[in-house]
Structure 1
Amino acid sequence: MFVKLVAVVLVLAPCLAMEGSGMIGGLTDADMDDTKVQKALQFAIDEHKKASNDMWISHVTRVISAKEQVVGGMKYIFTVEMVRTSCRKGEREGTCHICWNPNIAQLRVCTLTVWTRSWLGKMEVMEDTCL
C-alpha cells in the first residue's frame, strides 16, 4: 500500500509543481521595470524607425501589453500604440512633439516581437506589424 502511495506522489509531483507557475516555455507577462525588457522594447522601436518608409518619426505613446517567452534565448512580444511626431526622419528627435491631430498622427496598434540571445550578443526583430 505504501509503495503505491509513493508511486502516485512521484507521478503527480511534477504536475502539481507546474500548476502555479504556468506552462514551461509558455508566454508570461513581462516586467516593464526590468532593464532587459526595456532594452528589447527600445531595440524594437529603433529598428522600426530605421525600417519604416514613413518620412515622419513615430513614437510609442503606450505599451498595451508586454509578454515574454523562454525559447532558444528570450522572445519579447510588445503590443504598443504608435503615433507620428512632428519630426521628419533625420531631424533631432529630442524636439519632437506628438501630433494629436488624428489625420496626421495616424494612431496605430502594433505588435513588435524581439528575439534575444544574450550569450551571442544578438537581438533581432522577428515581427513588426506597423511596417
Structure 2
Amino acid sequence: MAVRVLLLGAAAALFILLPAGGSSVMPGGIAPVDATSPEVLQAVHAAVEHFNRRSNETFLSKMRRVLNAKEQVVTGMLYHLRVKLGTTNCRKTAPNIDLESCQFHPSPALAKTRICKFQIWDRPWMGPMQVTLQNCRIV
C-alpha cells in the first residue's frame, strides 16, 4: 500500500511539473524552436551584430539563413543557433548603415559564406542579450 501511494505521489508531482500543453522539456533541457519566431530572430540579430563588431573584415556580414535553432531554459533563455552568414557590399566604416538594405557581395573574390554557431543568453531584466559563444568557419 505504501509503495502504491508513493508511486501515485511521484506521478502527481511529475504531472504538476510538466508545462501546460504536454511538453516534456524540463528547465535546463534543450529543445528545438521555430527559427522564424520573433525571439529567435532577435537572438540572431544580436549574434550578427556581435560578429560584425568583432570581425576584422572590411565588409559587414548578414544572415543568409538560420540552419538550426534550439532554446534552453536557464536563468532566462539560452538560444543555441547555427546560422549561415554572407558578406555584404556595405563597408563597416560607413556611417548609419541599415544592414537589411545591404546586398550580398557580388564579387566571388570578396564574398564569404560562413557557418556560425552562436549561444545567446537572454535575460530581459539584465539588459541586452549577451553572445556567450561564437564559432564560425568559412565554407
* Normalised TM-score (structure 1): 0.80
Aligned residues: 130
**1:120–1:45 Cα change, 3 Å:** same
Displacement after TM superposition at 1:87 (Å): 1.9
Q: Could you say what the CA RMSD is over the residues aligned between the two structures, in angstroms?
A: 2.6
What is the 5 A alignment of 1:84-103?
A: 84-91=87-94, 92=97, 93=99, 95-99=101-105, 102-103=108-109
1:35 to 32, 35, 38: 38
**1:59–1:122 Cα change, 3 Å:** closer
Q: Secondary structure at the match of 2:47?
A: helix
The alignment-based identity, stated in percent, is 32
Matched, 1:118 2:124: yes
Task: State the partner residue of 2:67.
Answer: 64
| Structure 1 runs not aligned, ≥5 long | none
- Distance in 2, Cα, partners of 1:95 & 1:34: 21
Task: State the partner residue of 2:5.
Answer: 6
Would you tell me which structure has more helix in proportion to its own residues?
1
- Distance in 2, Cα, partners of 1:76 & 1:20: 18
**1:10–1:41 Cα change, 3 Å:** same
